[in-house]
Chain A
Amino acid sequence: DGGITQSPKYLFRKEGQNVTLSCEQNLNHDAMYWYRQDPGQGLRLIYYSQIVNDFQKGDIAEGYSVSREKKESFPLTVTSAQKNPTAFYLCASSIVAGLASNEQFFGPGTRLTVL
């Protein structure tokens, strides 16, 4: 089945540790995105990538890093510089070229808790 997988589903981290969230898609989409969602709030864009080996900062990139070495994979690292990392993280992908109506497809999310 085509889709987006994120792992792990739940992640616990001690303060001061870096942690990497996985995102893989087999939809052959060019673009991938990382969002952060805090309780009772909407999604905020952290980073996005439209093509392999290229990515851009979103609205809240500070304390996060990404890589895009393969089309299928877009891992997100939450660094110790992120002051309040406890949140729900959602990865998405979409077709870039073509219709503007191309929606973003989302993974199931990773819930990160800093202890």
Chain B
Amino acid sequence: AQKITQTQPGMFVQEKEAVTLDCTYDTSDPSYGLFWYKQPSSGEMIFLIYQGSYDQQNATEGRYSLNFQKARKSANLVISASQLGDSAMYFCAMREGGSARQLTFGSGTQLTVLP
């Protein structure tokens, strides 16, 4: 079974508008962390935001916020006031409890910001 599911292969958004990128996850571990990374066409992976399973509040980092719904096992990324430079591939990833600290990645969402 997929541990991280991103159901939107591609998304379009108008510049200056907000966009939500979906991510659902599957784990039986009560301790886990959820990450979002951005991958521009250059290929590098850029860390955006983190949400821990025990965090009471949704994470925010500048224009990025994470809509964390634990009961639904979803961790959607919200980008406010989209910019042309936001056009990239976005990956959701999960780290389950334990010492190994590997990340499991979803298949990604290609976001295109339109001028």
**A interface vs B, CB < 8 Å?**
31, 33, 35, 40-45, 48, 50, 56, 58, 88, 90, 92, 94, 96, 100-109, 111
Contacts and interface: CB of A to CB of B under 8 A. Distances in A.
B103 interface: yes
Contacts of A108: 42-44
Q: By DSSP majority rule, is chain A's interface helix, strand, loop, or mixed?
A: strand
Nearest to A33: B102
Interface stretch (B11-19, B64-72, B76-84, B105-113): B105-113
A42 B50 contact: no
B79 to A, nearest CB: 18
A90 B45 contact: yes
A41 B33 contact: no
Nearest to B33: A100
Contacts of A105: 47
Contacts of B31: 100
23 contacts: A40-B9, A40-B107, A40-B108, A41-B107, A42-B106, A42-B108, A43-B91, A43-B105, A45-B102, A45-B103, A50-B100, A94-B101, A96-B99, A96-B101, A100-B33, A100-B95, A103-B35, A104-B45, A105-B47, A107-B44, A108-B42, A108-B44, A109-B44
